[in-house]
Amino acid sequence: MHFTGKNMADDELARNKMVRKTGRLAVSTITGGSHVVVEFNRGELERLLH
């Protein structure tokens, strides 16, 4: 699985993109296509992977 980690404290461009995409800045936020998972949710992550 490929992923890209971003440090929102250090990356203003990534921070702005996350707020535009999700409407907020929360840790952890995982996006996959149009899907957004905020905070760790094993069930939701497994659903997105399958």
pLDDT tens readout for residues 4-33:
888 889 999 999 998 998 888 887 888 888
Predicted pLDDT of residue 13: 94
- The better pLDDT of the pair 50, 16 is held by 16
Predicted pLDDT of residue 2: 81
Q: Which helix (H) or strand (E) holds 33?
A: none
Mean pLDDT, rounded, for 39-44? 88
Sign of CA dihedral 18, 21, 24, 27: negative
Predicted pLDDT of residue 41: 87
Q: What pTM did the predictor assign?
A: 0.62
